[in-house]
Amino acid sequence: ELTRLNVSESVFAHFSAADLELINLISGLARRVGVRTYLVGGVVRDIILGVPNHDLDLVVEGDAIEFSQNLNRLLNGKVVSYPPFGTSVIFMKEKKRIDFASARKEFYAFPGAAPDVEYSDLKKDLFRRDFTLNAMAISIYPDNWGELYDFFGGYRDLRNKILRILHPLSFVDDPARSIRAVRFEKKYDFHIEPFTMSLLKQTIRKNLLDSIKPDRLKEEIQLILELPNYYRYLERLYQLEMIPSILPGCIWKREYSDRFIGVERRLPEVKTIIGIDKFLYQLTPLFDDFDVKQISLLQKRLALSRHFSHKVVSYHSYKSEFMSAVEEKDIRPSEIYLRCRLMPLEFLYFLLSFYPEKSLANQRINRYLKEWRTIKTILKGSDLQEMGIKAGPHYATMLDELKLAKIDGYAKNRFEEEQLIKQSWERVNKRGEQR
């Protein structure tokens, strides 16, 4: 049954002036070509909830591809269409995009949906979606601009903070929706309605999650990692026994919470560092108790790079020596430097949060990250050549030794660097003679 409600006030309050102008342009075109057009999906949910969401997802009761091409004559963006699905995207500057879908019978293979003379196309489009709260539309057609189309009780569920599946096969159609369920539950602090919960548990029990494709799965996890306190979502996924399928080899422990909080606190800084795999960094706390034998499984499950696996394996192999070095009282700075250098950056930042702010270990790791990691010797290969040192692979070793000496507080200027290089050249020669 359709609720008739006009939410134009909420639409005005939701969008920026620029977006409203864009919507007006669209609704003008809709009238000219006589095609009903609606905002749909997540943005409708967030308009009603008053939550920021800058998506422009539209359903057109007609040919969305043609519609978007017409619209783009006014916008000068770039249109990318997917004819088999009847969908189309206009990409504009500053990452702005408008998504269009066609609500037309030929795009539905869906059998049992009850025919509804007036709204059948839109209704069928909405019925294919995941949860009632995501299955509403708002008309932007001039004669009923702002009218909410809610066929499945989404508005009531939003009011009552209930997450409800649209139809019993929804999780079977797309098992990734079970991860979305956890995301919406926690993000909006909703209650998963009992029948939905029982279907969710069935989906998990029947291992349907295993059929989610790696890229899709990674995307869903990434959407969670974008959210504040994302660890709470991971914890919930664990509680629901979803982790073995989506992050094989990982478990959850209560003490992780604090570590994740530390990792998240540093995220804005860490994101700016070149060479950091943000995805790995955000998950680092999971790898202390990770079953490293499962690393290739994890890599495969999420289509991760070999780099990712290497870093996890390195962490496991170097962790204990690393920890005893940074905690050791009497140790040369260069020793610490060498341990830090073996440790993947993602885990160094993790360990930084792991140790209390004022601890010796924390200060040392910090010093490595802020200073030693990028320390440079004054002398270069060309200088060594000018000093009459025969070129060869020993250059790298000699310059590296020089760097270690600098870290230990020697070789403070060019002259001292040259002295040290001369000494180390003598040692290289001696070693050569002995051979």
Positions in the binding site for ligand CTP (CB under 6 A): 41-42, 53, 55, 57, 129-130, 134-135, 174, 176-177, 180, 223
3-state secondary structure of 430: helix
Q: Which is nearer to ligand CTP, 189 or 330 (CB)?
A: 189
Q: Which is nearer to ligand CTP, 176 or 351 (CB)?
A: 176
Per the document, the length of the chain is 435
Q: How far is the CB of 254 from ligand CTP (least distance, A)?
A: 28
Minimum Å gap between C-beta 151 and ligand CTP is 13
Q: How far is the CB of 237 from ligand CTP (least distance, A)?
A: 16
| Structure tokens belonging to residue 366 | 């910090």
DSSP E strand boundaries for 92-222 = 97-102, 137-139, 147-150, 162-163, 191-192
The burial class, CB within 10 Å (0-12 / 13-18 / 19+), for 29 is middle
Residue with smaller CB distance to ligand CTP, 302 or 402: 302
Closer Cβ to ligand CTP, 186 or 311, answer by number: 186
Q: Centre a 10 Å sphere on the Cβ of residue 218 and count the other Cβ atoms it contains.
A: 17
| Residue with smaller CB distance to ligand CTP, 227 or 292 | 227
- What is the pairing mode between strands 97-102 and 87-91? antiparallel
Kind and range of the H or E run holding 117: none
- CA neighbours closer than 13 Å in the CB half-sphere of residue 293: 0
Closest CB to ligand CTP belongs to which residue? 42
The H or E element spanning position 91 is: strand 87-91
Least Å distance, CB 146 to ligand CTP, is 19
CB of 227 to ligand CTP, least distance (A): 9
Q: What angle do CA 281, 283, 288 make, to 5 degrees?
A: 105
Phi, psi of 164 (to 5 degrees): -135, 135
Residue 43 CB neighbour total at 10 angstroms = 23
Residues 6+ apart with CB under 8 A from 122: 36, 38, 59, 61, 103, 137, 149
Give whichever of 44 and 79 is closer to ligand CTP, judged by the CB atom. Answer: 44
Query: Residue 44 Cβ, how far from ligand CTP at the closest point, in Å?
Result: 8
- Nearer to ligand CTP by C-beta: 213 or 431? 213
Distance between CA atoms of 209 and 71, rounded to whole angstroms?
Answer: 39
Cα(346)–Cα(140) distance, integer angstroms? 46
Choice between 130 and 150, CB closer to ligand CTP: 130
Contact 166, 153 (CB under 8 A): no
Q: How far is the CB of 202 from ligand CTP (least distance, A)?
A: 17
Nearer to ligand CTP, 55 or 63 (CB): 55
How many whole angstroms separate alpha carbon 415 and alpha carbon 288? 46
CB of residue 61 to ligand CTP, shortest distance in Å = 17
User: In the complex, what is the shortest distance from the CB of residue 356 to ligand CTP, in angstroms, rounded to a whole number?
Assistant: 36
